Structure 1
Amino acid sequence: METSTRREFLQQTGVGLAVATLGGSWEGTQAATDAVGGLPPHRPLEVPGVHAYPAEHSLHAGETLQLHVSASVPYDLAICRLGPRFDDPAGEEVLAEFLAQSPAPHPIHPGSYIYVHKSLSEAVHSLSVELWIRPWYISETQAILSQYDHPDQCSLALMVNAKGQIVFYLGDGGKYHADGEHISPAKSLHVPQPKGPLNIRWQHLVAVWDGRVKRIYVDGRKIAEWRWEGKVNWSAVPLRWGAAGEAGKASHFLDADVAMPAIYSRALSEEEIRQRFADNGLTVPKDASLLGCWPLQEEKGEHVADVSAHQRHGRIINQGIWMIGGPSFDANVARFGTYDPAQDTKRGHGLRLASDDLYDCRWPVRHTWKIPEDARPGLYVARFRFEYGKTERYQYVTFIVKRSKNRPAAPLLVLAATNTWRAYSSTPFAIPPASRKQVWGTGGITNGPTNPPAYSFYRAHAAGQGTLQLGLRMPWPVASPYVLYGGPTEYSHLARAERPLHVWLEQNGYLYDIISDYDLHKQPDLLRSYRAVVIVGHNEYWSIPMYEGLRQYLQGGGQVINLSGNTIFWRVSFNPEGTIIECRKVDAPGNQIPPQRRGEAWHSQDGRRGGLMRECGYPGWQLIGLESLGWNNPSNPKNFGPFVIEDPDHALFRAPENLKLRKGDRIGEAGVGKTPAVNGHEFDVRVSTLAKLQQQPNPPGGKVPEDPPGIRLLANGIVPWKEGGAAFDYFMRPVKPATDQGGEMIYWERPEGGRVFNAGCIGYAWAMLADPRLQGLLRNVLAHFGIKPQPE
């Protein structure tokens, strides 16, 4: 295991203070903590039930599993290797038990804001607060700026409520006094409503006190004024952008984008305010009265610099979102073009805050288990059994055990689609249903009783902000080996979709190693140790290092067996610590960024274009020959279909096993209109097929590429479109196929090097349970690639 940094250690143990290391100018930016993994005191939120996550989601045999657990009820815990029988809990191999564990609940601490340890202390007789703000949906009063801890230490607060009223409080630093609070008329700020599309827009907000009168200006226009001749004394509490204190803890978190926040020790004039409004947040104010100004130019990381002489540097609590541009930015950039954020002088800088931001639960480690040195690679689970609501329930925490570092590599490597498991992890704090088999949709299941954060790459934040990043130190119950997606079809597309392959390989004597997507991201050259690599299930989310690792492997003569659909579709990146995954989805169904704000699709982790891999310069078809066609209805058995043989004389159908197939034969289904069936729920085709299906002209700047040479079509998939589903052209625009065109099965000897068998659908491993001919085909492919069963 790699040596942990001090920061990682503190996050794992859940105690202590993480110290900023950005140089002497940052000293003093950290507050004393309340023993919650380096957080300043923060409003807690209880999460009833039993929830857990491993410190690392994949470990080598011989390393130690660390489980972070919160439990409001007693539980039994078993560490298990998933057994040699698919969907059979009785076959789970119990390796360790922790019985009769007492409750040990730990809260979570959602909500992002900028924490400034060096709070305001200068004597002031006038004051101005300026920023650009773009509110999202606001359901209750939220803080924009505060040096304020209600009810006992109240100096300054600027807030907004659901009616768009601005609350401006000044006080003597002691107890809250109602005469220090003034509230502007309704709709002073435009605040989007919860129903319908969120119509967000930037607004310039200035709050001024000249020693006698308080005024509020929005977009250069005075909208409220009150007489107030009190005295401002500063309470000894932190300065916060996007939060205010309540009973000693950060609370009242803001759902808004902010840009160019600043505080002055004088009253700006109306003319100065109009000039600042006209500047659109592009120019840092040059003013000797600045008490603090944060241009937010960093665009990554957790620190923000104060450019005033006072060096009130800030720390972003719970991440926030960078790379969204400022009020001057026209985010409607061309889909196909040469836009470069670094060259855009009008882009400006903004930071997105959310009241439900959470990327690390910061729970302590409660259980550890030393993985045996000789443990077999595969999927393992921490299986929690507990009673909630007088009903027995199970919570499965899935993790991967890789081969020991002291053992030689197997001939075959299986890539687990862990990025996709995480992408669909809506409602991570839900109470699991009583049944072990549970249907999870893209929005998850019923959320936990305290309405904890529930967002994923398929579900927006509670206030409507699209989800652009997720934390890995969070529960992911959706990765349970018993989670369904299709209900009556018993179809799955996450961890359970991969299990039939693992079981089949073991039953047939094939030795294999397994890694996670993140393992490949960290170490792209590890593929070189293997004769063949299997991509299985729903491997949709790829990073550039993953892509480059696969490209170099193939160019070096590597061999890929793709039993996945919707493969290499969305681009992701990770922060340096590997604790946050970022994905900026745009221009395809499920997008979290609308096309008119495409300029927000550039990643904060690496500054590069996000969205579809093929539109980021890393098309899947260049490596594995196919691209996404669409999806069917995973709940309708009649919407699934088989493969129809096109090239029955190809060697993969004939040797070493003769599958005795003829052109037009159907394979990969339990029966017409029955499941398991191979073409579902997502499937891929050649780009030439997408071109034939296209029904609109190419979009400006867009062009459908030609098939690379050498691809052979082995079988054509069937999807009964009349039963439902959605098909798309190369530019992800809806099409209506005139036939039952489904995914395509291909074999490709690449001119650039390497060989590929691509079945182009998520359901291949699942359908092997129903059709021995799919199993025979896989045996032939493995043999063709030099992979043989090993005797016991």
Structure 2
Amino acid sequence: MGAEHIRRWESGALAHAVTDPFGQGPLPWLRASEPYLDDDGQVVPWYADPDLGARGRGGGGTRSADDVHRQIKGFTSTGAVTPGEAVDFHITVDPPQEFSVGVYRIGHYSGAGAAKVTTSPRLSGIVQPAPLAADRTVSCHHWWLSWRLQVPSYWSVGAYVAVLTTADGHRSHIPFTVRDERPADLLLLLPDVTWQAYNLYPEDGRTGASLYHAWDEEGRLLGEEDAATTVSFDRPYAGAGLPLHVGHAYDFVRWAERYGYDLAYADARDLHAGRVDPTRYRGLVFPGHDEYWSPPMRRTVEAARDHGTSLVFLSANTMYWQVELSPSASGVPDRLLTCRKRRGPGRPALWRELDRPEQQLLGIQYAGRVPEPSPLVVRNAGHWLWEATGAGEEDELPGLVAGEADRYFPRTALPEHQRRILLAHSPYQDSEGALRHQETSLYRAPSGALVFASGTFAWSPALDRPGHVDERVQRATANLLDRICKRD
């Protein structure tokens, strides 16, 4: 496959074998039909479509930037920021031309999925230097600052997306988080560490690498044995500029904000760096695929549980790999992510091979991939989680076991608990045709904290993704969060 033919959904997502069973496509974050406006107030299409150039207004139109031509790509050199702080954007534009940045906040917003909060002035774009690569680690830390966004003190905390658009209609995206330290019922933790582990930027058939893949001299995608062991946050996300599975987090955000839950926001790196005080929250919510955890992340979350803060894990394959975060060459903390996996001598990188299996926190742990979506089969339907859902014992919720699945491992120790229950037991076939099963778990820790693990990728999309909403999952999730938040 030549470099000129590399396209995101032929390389990164499909090659990871972590395919998206929900048809979220490359831009999962915006719902309204075509809500982008150009400088003349005209609506322009938002979606990535390589054929748009021939159909757009005046022969133009909008097209998604790619990693081969780098029409417009960018990243932030700052992690999550608080209102009053600045977000630094580093952006390359080829050919050089003016561009603008529209900033959107993810939320329900009457079903639109996001609301525009500001637009940059017209900015002068330059071709930034080529990414640097050393031992498969790709970094753009040497790119010049393109725009500094001073976040107003009145902005709401939340998940944001910066939309980069060139004068000739190419578009890319940069996600970022606005956080603060106010107490709230629930703290939503966006899995930026896992997002970066999967980031194959640049998907150019030459230099890009993730913790899963790299390229050979012919532009063929290589597997984990030849992938990076360290990846940098100082680079764009591949393809359209949004992380793989980012939509799972956004599905939860839209649903939770629609129903008025009191949410605070942070990134996984905030958890790692000690910027999260769990005592400020009744519960910590992990809404998406959250596979890569550092020891400080795990210590903080276990301490939170032991002090009475509940934990809600709405995906599967959580806390599978142990990772390290380290400073960039210039000393900026937590800009490099390292996971040695199974290559070479030294300590293993799987938590379960370090005698600290995930089940000791989650109550279940990763069992494998689910090649085709299967029903989630309800168990213990009389439990309060299933109350008023209409779900009966052994009812099947179609398509709710998908992507990857967790289950209870009987030979692995459980966490200390007062009450523990399995709320689903769902058979499915693995890629070899063998019969496996998924389970959903809930336990109460001695501190009184509840710990819920859905055990499937499909739970968050069932909350608010068109075509995948399941009212029983919505109600069950509300039952759980209402109990954590002590709602009447």
TM-score tier by shorter-chain length is 0.7 to 0.9
Query: Residue 357 of structure 1: CA displacement?
Result: 4.1
Pick one of 84, 88, 93 that aligns with 2:108. 84
2:484 corresponds in structure 1 to 785
CA distance in 1, matches of 2:81, 2:426: 37
Q: What are the superposed Cα offsets for residues 389-414 of structure 1, whole Å, 9 maximum, x if unpaired?
A: xxx432010111113x5xx2211011
1:715 matched residue in structure 2 = 424
Q: Trace 1:360-509 onto structure 2 (pairs within 5 A).
A: 360-386=140-166, 392-403=169-180, 405=181, 408-426=182-200, 428-429=201-202, 447-448=203-204, 453-460=207-214, 462=216, 465-477=226-238, 480=241, 494-509=245-260
Match of 2:401 in 1: 679
The CA RMSD over aligned residues, in Å, is: 2.6
Within 2, Cα distance between the matches of 1:573 and 1:48? 30
CA contact (8 A) 1:525 1:553 kept: no
Aligned residue in 1 for 2:125 = 103
Deviation (angstroms), 1:507: 0.6
CA deviations 1:676-699 (Å, max 9, x no partner) are x321101111112xxxxxxxxxxx
Return the alpha-carbon distance in structure 1 between the equivalents of residues 447 and 114 of structure 2: 43
Separation in 2 of the partners of 1:109 and 1:645?
Answer: 49
CA contact (8 A) 1:630 1:682 kept: yes
Please give the secondary structure, in 1, of the residue aligned with 2:251: helix
2:392 is the alignment partner of 1:662: yes
CA deviation profile, 1:315-345 (whole Å, cap 9, x unmatched): xxxxxxxxxxxxxxxxxxxxxxxxxxxxxxx
Instruction: State the partner residue of 1:281.
Output: none
Check 1:781–1:92 CA distance in 2 against 1; reply closer, same or farther (3 A cut).
closer
**Secondary structure of 1:622 counterpart:** helix
Distance 2:144 2:486 in 1: 43
Deviation at 1:527, TM superposition (A): 1.8
Report the CA distance shift for 1:86/1:685 in structure 2 as closer, same or farther (over 3 A): farther
1:617 aligned partner: 355
**Residues 52, 395 of structure 1: CA spacing in aligned structure 2 closer, same or farther, 3 A cutoff?**
same
The correspondence of residues 3-22 of structure 1 with structure 2, limited to 5 A, is: none
Going from structure 1 to structure 2, the CA distance change for 1:519 and 1:462 (only over 3 Å counts) comes to farther
Partner of 1:510: 261
Equivalence for 2:450: 755
Question: Structure 2 matches for 1:277-292, cutoff 5 A?
Answer: none
Give the 3-state SS of the residue equivalent to 1:679 in structure 2.
Answer: strand
- Identity across matched positions, percent: 22
User: In 1, are the aligned partners of 2:103 and 2:161 still within 8 Å (CA)?
Assistant: yes
The answer as to 2:324 corresponding to 1:564 is no
Deviations 1:421-479 (A, max 9, x none): 101111x23xxxxxxxxxxxxxxxxx33xx55210011036477431000111111468
Paired residue for 1:66, among 88, 98, 102?
A: 88
Pair 1:542–1:524, CA change in 2 (3 A): farther
Counterparts of 1:44-193 in structure 2 under 5 Å?
A: 48-73=70-95, 74=97, 75-84=99-108, 88=112, 92-108=114-130, 110-112=132-134
Q: Which runs of 4+ in 1 moved over 6 A?
A: none
Distance 1:620 1:69 in 2: 38
Change (3 A) 1:368 1:87: farther
Tell whether the 8 Å contact from 1:652 to 1:784 is kept in structure 2 after alignment.
no
* C-alpha separation in 1, matches of 2:130 and 2:486: 47
In structure 1, stretches of 5+ residues that fail to align are: 1-44, 113-353, 430-446, 484-492, 587-592, 603-608, 634-638, 670-676, 689-703, 727-735
Q: CA deviation at 1:705?
A: 2.2
1:172-209 C-alpha deviation (Å, 9 max, x unpaired):
xxxxxxxxxxxxxxxxxxxxxxxxxxxxxxxxxxxxxx
The one-letter code of the counterpart of 2:157 is: P
Confirm whether residue 653 of structure 1 aligns to residue 386 of structure 2. yes
TM-score of the aligned structures, taking structure 2 as reference length: 0.76
Other structure's SS at 2:479 match:
helix
Pair 103,707 (structure 1): closer, same or farther in 2 beyond 3 Å: closer
Q: CA deviation at 1:82?
A: 2.4
The 2-side partners of 1:395 and 1:86 are apart by 25
SS at match of 1:619: coil
* SS of aligned partner of 2:302: helix
Q: Structure 2 residue aligned with 1:746, among 441, 465, 468?
A: 441
Task: Write the deviation string for residues 36-82 of structure 1: whole angstroms up to 9, x where unpaired.
Answer: xxxxxxxxx99642111111131112211110111123323212212
CA shift, 1:647, in A, is 0.4
Q: Quick one: distance in 2 between partners of 1:53 and 1:711?
A: 43
Q: Report the secondary structure of 2:118's partner residue.
A: strand
State whether residues 555 and 754 of structure 1, in contact with CA within 8 Å, keep that contact through their aligned partners in structure 2. yes
Measure the CA separation in 1 of the matches of 2:133 and 2:292. 26
C-alpha separation in 2, matches of 1:505 and 1:640? 25
CA contact (8 A) 2:389 2:471 kept: no
Distance 1:377 1:650 in 2: 34
SS at match of 1:411: strand
Q: Distance in 2 between matches of 1:469 and 1:106?
A: 23
Paired with 1:59 and 1:521, the residues of 2 have a C-alpha distance of: 15
The TM-score, its normalising length taken from structure 1, stands at 0.48
Q: Does 1:725 align with 2:447?
A: no
Please tell me whether residue 584 in structure 1 is matched to residue 321 in structure 2.
Answer: no
Q: Residues 582 and 357 (structure 1 numbering): CA distance in 2 closer, same or farther, change over 3 Å? A: closer
The whole-number CA distance in structure 2 between the counterparts of 1:65 and 1:87 is 27
Could you report, residue by residue, the CA deviation over 1:726-775 in whole angstroms, capped at 9, with x for unpaired residues? 6xxxxxxxxx643xx44211211134763212111121010223211111
SS of aligned partner of 1:470: strand
d(CA) in 1 for partners of 2:359 and 2:450?
13
In structure 2, the CA distance between the partners of 1:111 and 1:715, relative to structure 1 (3 Å rule), is closer
In structure 2, relative to structure 1, the CA distance for the partners of 1:583 and 1:64 (3 Å cut) is: same
Q: Residues 145-172 of structure 1, C-alpha deviation per residue, up to 9 Å, x if partnerless?
A: xxxxxxxxxxxxxxxxxxxxxxxxxxxx
The aligned amino acid for 2:88 is Q
SS at match of 1:773: helix
Q: Would the alpha carbon gap of residues 55 and 62 (structure 1) be closer, same or farther in structure 2, given more than 3 Å must change?
A: same
The residue type paired with residue 680 of structure 1 is A
1:470–1:580 Cα contact (<8 Å) kept = yes
Mapped contact 1:746–1:758 kept (Cα < 8 A): yes
Contact 2:137 2:209 in 1 (8 A): no
Q: CA deviation at 1:610?
A: 4.0
Question: Are 1:544 and 1:618, in contact at CA under 8 Å, matched by a contact in 2?
Answer: no
User: What amino acid maps onto 1:749 in structure 2?
Assistant: R
Deviation for aligned residue 1:361: 3.2
